[in-house]
Structure 1
């Protein structure tokens, strides 16, 4: 592959990563809207009132730190998951840091960095918020009637081990049942259990769900991944022997 085609592919990959970031933000937005709204709704009739306050509460949130374990089982009787990965999401205003399996992503004021730990490759690009259209992101439209028409009415199943249990049936979907477990004291998710029509089920267990996190200095610093000079970007000491692909520099070389 010649230099021009390689850079074109890398830029397409970066654009796809930006799209994935936007999609991730939408999914996270919906999740956070639900979580922030779960202020100890103890009965089914209260659930509708809780939903009405979600959008406003989400828009007021600036930071979050989530650590969760995602496991997928072949069937309800399986004790060992065939898929088991840890996910960590850190958000502070418009800065993000994300780790899932062998993939890292960092977005701060200056850079968008994608890391593939298996391929030992770091793709780095300077931020272009206007092109990314991330700063103008708005949560999806909120319509309680349409939400209930798709998910069905939630059932309050009771309280066990200091967690409130809600069950939601999905209509005409791959997932036919979702069980939500909300910590009775902290009012945040403890676990989400998805049951699929083919018998599989997935469990998301929240190890950390902090909506008022105190991040360590440097959490969103690109120097964890790369060191930049006026002429070059190299891997940091944490990622020695990784290949760094600088979209801007390589694009100039190709041209």
Structure 2
């Protein structure tokens, strides 16, 4: 019976999380529901009273979570992360839950949080954006030093590449350069600014990582060239020059990917 209960709860939470993009009414209630797997996190529970007005159902969902705590797996938690970026209510609570995921010691949960970082930007202001981006970039740097987390660096690089669609760096894209994330910028009304120092610091390290990290570098470099003006990138000429080591890659696919990026430059 416990296995059936666990599978049922997982399916229910996953289903609710999947339709949050379409929610127009009672979004506060659905946010409370998908928060259920997180309501055993001490930092979140300690602050529940603060959200009584914004999320009136949250305290009842918390009581429910106490009864099904044994069924709340990492997979169930991970299934709620994409929905956090789609709902447009109570950004403070969603940010707290997202940070709980982003600071998790569980690599699978952390990776899911990193991968969905770009969609979370739909509901952050500039200060929050810089704060969360610093967290994401930290994980990328840390992953390069740990063999068991090596794949996380690639996820960070690719997430940051998609994030650049939401920044404003004096460059207007041609129609054939606009991706789905760029199209979302108009809807999201995001026009964020970004400090590139930490991004290039990560790139300089990642070009010496494994192939997945190097491919992530290529994707991030391509996004930088698409979204950041030449006058801004020129300040990072030395850092860009460090990536030329990828021209000597023995892996033909990787070398071709980098050559394509350089051709755009």
TM-score, reference length from structure 2 = 0.25
Structure with more strand by fraction = 1
TM-score, reference length from structure 1 = 0.25
Structure with more helix by fraction = 2
